[in-house]
Amino acid sequence: MSRGARSARRRSSRARVSGSRAAWSTKWATAASPKSRSTPHTASAAWSGTPAAVRADLLADVVGEVLGAGAGTGANLPHYRHPQRVVLTEPDAAMRRHLAARPDRCAVPAEVVPAVAEELPFADESFDVVVATLAFCSVADPARAASEIRRVLRPDGRLVVLEHVAATGRRRERQDRWDRAWSRLFASCHLTRDTVRTLKDAGFAVADVHRLPPAFKADPTAPMVTGTARRQTADVR
């Protein structure tokens, strides 16, 4: 390889590294801005780099009456292809205004309701599917939220989850060190929750759990998991 070619290759490599760093700097600036301090959805998505294709695949077969618990900015709305009805709960007023301003993003008109996952204002067995993406990381009481979601699901109904969960080994040690500061910066979003165990303890049969690769080596939100939890008609807790 000529000296000129080697120089060009080094410049190209430096440009790729610089571009990658710039991209993550932009994501961090967006996630950590004052506007996003009350929106852990934005923070988690920025760090995890969750592609839209993951959501599209996860929600492809969501049908019937659907509840989006902790809907955030509405990133899931374009991926609800064949719902009969969509209801979105969101406790943050700014996020609710954002959701209400974009009814065109969903295949059917979405109803936006002010509520926390721990106190869902719906009758028992109201929904066929509940979708919770990047929600259990920030609720005040995950066990109560799981119980409420189970309550409003119809028999054999499904909870569809995308969530970052506690890691193991050295990554978990880092999460333990960062968790307090992270939760303060990103509106009570926690790094060390065992959401799969929480769902099992609430009486869900958890299946199809898949781990997504980390967005980068030191990603504090890894591992990110997707999965389906089915409400069991008998109490097997």
Q: DSSP letter string over 45-63?
A: HHHHT--HHHHHHHTTT-E
Say which residues have a Cβ less than 8 Å from residue 109's Cβ, sequence separation at least 6.
86, 103
Mean pLDDT of 20-44: 41
Residue 26 has pLDDT above 50, yes or no: no
Mean pLDDT of 69-77: 92
Structure tokens that stand for 228 in this block: 């389906």
Would you give the DSSP letter of residue 77?
G
Mean pLDDT of 42-52: 54
Q: Which amino acid is at 124?
A: D
pLDDT per residue as tens digits for the range 104-148 = 688 898 999 999 999 999 999 999 999 999 999 989 999 999 999
Mean pLDDT of 229-235: 78
Strand partners, 185: none
Mean pLDDT of 55-79: 94
pLDDT per residue as tens digits for the range 172-184 = 677 667 667 776 7
pLDDT of residue 34: 37
pLDDT of residue 107: 87
Strand partners, 132: 161
